[in-house]
Structures are given as structure tokens and as C-alpha cells.
Homo-oligomer: A and B are copies of this chain.
Amino acid sequence: MIHESIAEKLDIEKFSPTSNTFRIADLGCSVGPNTYIAMQNIIEAVEEKYKSKGLESQLPEFQVFFNDHVTSDFNTLFTFLPPERRYFATGVPGSFYGRLFPKSCIHIMHASYALQWLSKVPEEVADKDSAAWNKGRIYYSSAPVEVANAYAAQYAKDMDNFLNNRAKEIVAGGMLLLIMISNPDGIHRSQMGCGVMYDKVGSSLVDMAKEGLISEAQVDSFNLPVYTASPKEVICLVERNGCFGIERMMTTHPQLRNDDNVDEQICSMSMRAALEGLITEHFGSEIIDELFDRFHKEVAGFNLMDSRHKKGILLLLALKRK
């Protein structure tokens, strides 16, 4: 989809002929190798586009900006940069919910598996006096509608912020390529596959609180800053924002392997990789091994292929700066 979007929709003729630099950013890039591969793919697609337009002699130099939180490991990211890369590499520390770049300087931005992270947990869900207080849970999937609404509202606000900041930074005719974890339209939140997983981490924490290993108040004040929107929801937010046109949209169903043992292992490791930092920050590092041992046991008794729990989908969106 990225190749096609660039081939068909990127307006390279519009870009300033005075600058022969093509700038690409990967937002929420983490430490590789996925980000190197994604950037390489985009560069190849842009080069093909120049060639197909007969502009081979005007092939630009590429500059790639790798962005992630300031706490991300940029040293490792830089150490493993592909030695044969054909671009100038730079690192940009900071949240993509704020400004990261000067005005109108990036031609293509890419964010993969990044926008499910909210800028923060919605305040109401940790507030005892709110109807949206999320007592005894860490996520919204099996929570009352007030909790789910608070999460959805935070997501909408974050997404608008994200799009407004990107609109300032992307040149006219430039593209924003998003790969997002999503839920099929029309699926109730309680049926989301990832929700089931987060709930199991939550119930492991609740069990540990019952056994006195952590306090109940600690569990009640912990919530995941994660939201997975449906394609309809995302499209509605992009249209309401108005800075970008939707050029292409695609959903795919990622295949789980048919070997349940592998799945358990992958599931448990992925969850730990994703959540360890957040959980350590709130509870301290001492509980991590115990927690994920418990989680692993819970997942072991759970059929990931169970049709009652819908698999998440991937939503691929190619947006163009109006």
C-alpha cells in the first residue's frame, strides 16, 4: 500500500525545486529493525516514482528523522543503522503529540503501531469521584461505558492534536502514512482480542493485590494509556480535523500462527515488551517477573483462536496534506 500510495498519490512535482532534499520521518520508531525496513521501503518507492516520471536526474538526497520518546534507546538505534543506507540519519527525541519539526519541512511521515498510545491516561478514569472511575481494571474493554467514553474522548483529542501538528510540519502535497492497530467496525469493546489480553494483565494485578503483594489503591490508580479505534472512528476523526485528505485505506487481518504454544509465548513476550516500562514506573520493577509468570499461566489456558474474541485488524491509511 505504501508503494502504491507513493507511486499514485505523492505530488513530487509540487515540492520546492530549490531544495534537493527529501525528508522522511518515522514517528514512534522504537529501536529497530522495523523502522530501518520501513524507511528503506519508502525511499525505494520515492526513487521509483522519480524514475517513472523521467526525473531520474533530479533524484533527491534523503534525510531520515527517527523519532521516539526521549527515554527510547537512541544509542542502540544509531548503533544498528544499516551501514549501506542511502540516507542521512538523524534522531528526534520527543512525543509526537507535540511539535517535533519546523514548519513545512517533511515530505513523508510514517507511524506504525504507534497511535494506539495515548498522550496520557484520561484523568477521569483514575478519579474516585468520577462516574468514569475504572476501579479494579486497567483498561476500558470490559469496563462501564463511562470509562470507554473517557478513553475515546482522550483518543479523539490526541488524534486531533497529532494531525494538527503534522499538518504544520508536512509540506503541501506531502503524505502521512499510518499503520494502526484497529478493531473491526461494529465489534463491541468487550469482544476485542487485545482487550482480553489487557484484562488478563489487570486480573493478575488484582490477584496480586488480594495476596497483599501490591496495594489495591495502586491497582485502582493504574490504567493503560492505550486505545484501539475502529476504522470508522479513525476516518471520522481525520475528516473532522480537515487538514488531510484520505488517499487510500486498507485493512488486513494479521495471521496468528496455528501453533498455540508459539502463540502463548509470543503473546506473553509481546505483552511484557509493551507494558513492562509502564508497569515498572507505577509499581516498581520487583513485581514484573511475578506478574508476567501469572499472566503467562492465564494465557496458557486460553484459546487464542476462540471465535468469541475477535482478532484485531491492521488499518493502513495514506493521508495527503491538503
Contacts and interface: CB of A to CB of B under 8 A. Distances in A.
Interface string A46-70: 0000000000000011110100001
B73 A88 contact: no
A19 interface: yes
A261 interface: no
Given A70-B78, A88-B99, A18 B18 contact: yes
A90 B88 contact: no
B16 A18 contact: yes
Interface in A64-109: 65, 70-71, 73-75, 78-79, 81, 88-94, 99-103, 105
A70 to B, nearest CB: 5
Contact of A90 (B62, B81, B90): B90
Contact of A74 (B20, B21, B74, B88): B74
Contact of A75 (B62, B75, B101): B75
A65 B63 CA distance: 12
Contact of A101 (B19, B60, B88): B88
Contacts of A94: 89
Given A16-B18, A74-B74, A92 B99 contact: no
B21 A61 contact: no
A20 B90 contact: no
Contact of A91 (B16, B19, B73, B74): B74
A90 B92 contact: yes
Interface of A: 16, 18-21, 60-63, 65, 70-71, 73-75, 78-79, 81, 88-94, 99-103, 105
